[in-house]
Amino acid sequence: MIKPHGSDTLNPLFVEDADKRAALQKEAEGLKSITISSAAAGNAVMLGGGYFNPLTGFMNKADTLSVAEKMETTSGLFWPTPVLNAVKDAGDIKAGDRVALKDPNVDGNPVIAIMDVAAVEELSDADMTLISEKVYGTTDAKHPGVEALLEAGKILLSGDIQVLNYSYFATDFGDTYKTAVEIRSEIEKRGWKRIVAFQTRNPMHRAHEELCHMAMERLEADGLVIHMLLGKLKPGDIPADVRDEAIRKMVDVYFKPNTAIVTGYGFDMLYAGPREAVLHAVFRQNMGATDLIVGRDHAGVGDYYTDFGAQEIFDDVPEGAMDLEIFKADHTAYSKKLDKVVMMREAPDHTKEDFVLLSGTAVREMLGEGKAPPKEFSRPEVAKILMDYYQGLNS
Count of other CB atoms within 10 angstroms of residue 392: 10
Neighbour order of strands in the sheet with 291-294:
260-265, 223-229, 195-200, 291-294, 325-328
The residues, ordered by sequence, that sit 6+ positions from 132 with a Cβ below 8 Å of its Cβ are: 138, 139, 146, 149
Mean pLDDT of 229-257: 89
User: In whole angstroms, what is the distance from residue 93 CA to residue 25 CA?
Assistant: 19
Model's pTM, two decimal places?
A: 0.94
User: In whole angstroms, what is the distance from residue 327 CA to residue 338 CA?
Assistant: 23
Instruction: Indicate where the chain has its CATH 3.10.400.10 domain(s).
Output: 18-167
Per-residue pLDDT at 345 exceeds 80? yes
Q: What percentage of the chain has pLDDT greater than the value 70?
A: 99
Q: Which of 201, 275, 345, 379 is catalytic?
A: 201
* Residue 195: band (very low, low, confident or very high) from pLDDT cuts 50, 70, 90: very high
Count of other CB atoms within 10 angstroms of residue 65: 18
* Residue 33: band (very low, low, confident or very high) from pLDDT cuts 50, 70, 90: very high
Please report the DSSP string for 215-268 in residue order: HHHHHT-SEEEEEEE-S---TTSPPHHHHHHHHHHHHHHHS-TTSEEEEEE---
* Residue 239: band (very low, low, confident or very high) from pLDDT cuts 50, 70, 90: confident
Is 98 marked active-site?
no
Least confident of 148-152, 226-230, 358-362: 358-362
- 91 backbone φψ class: left, alpha, beta (φ>0; ψ -120 to 50): left
Q: Which of 21, 98, 202, 364 is catalytic?
A: 202
Instruction: Indicate where the chain has its CATH 3.40.50.620 domain(s).
Output: 171-394
User: In whole angstroms, what is the distance from residue 269 CA to residue 14 CA?
Assistant: 22
Structure confidence at residue 395 (pLDDT):
65
Residues in the chain, total: 395
Per-residue pLDDT at 362 exceeds 90? no
Domain 18-167, CATH homologous superfamily name and number: Sulfate adenylyltransferase (3.10.400.10)
Structure confidence at residue 232 (pLDDT):
80
Is 190 marked active-site?
no
* Residue 357: band (very low, low, confident or very high) from pLDDT cuts 50, 70, 90: confident
Structure confidence at residue 324 (pLDDT):
98
Instruction: Please return the burial class of 394, using the count of CB atoms within 10 Å of its CB with bins 0-12, 13-18 and 19+.
Output: exposed
Per-residue pLDDT at 331 exceeds 90? no
Question: What average pLDDT does the structure give for the chain?
Answer: 94
Query: For residue range 261-300, what is the model confidence (pLDDT) as tens digits?
Result: 999 999 999 999 999 999 999 999 999 999 999 998 899 8
Domain 171-394, CATH homologous superfamily name and number: HUPs (3.40.50.620)
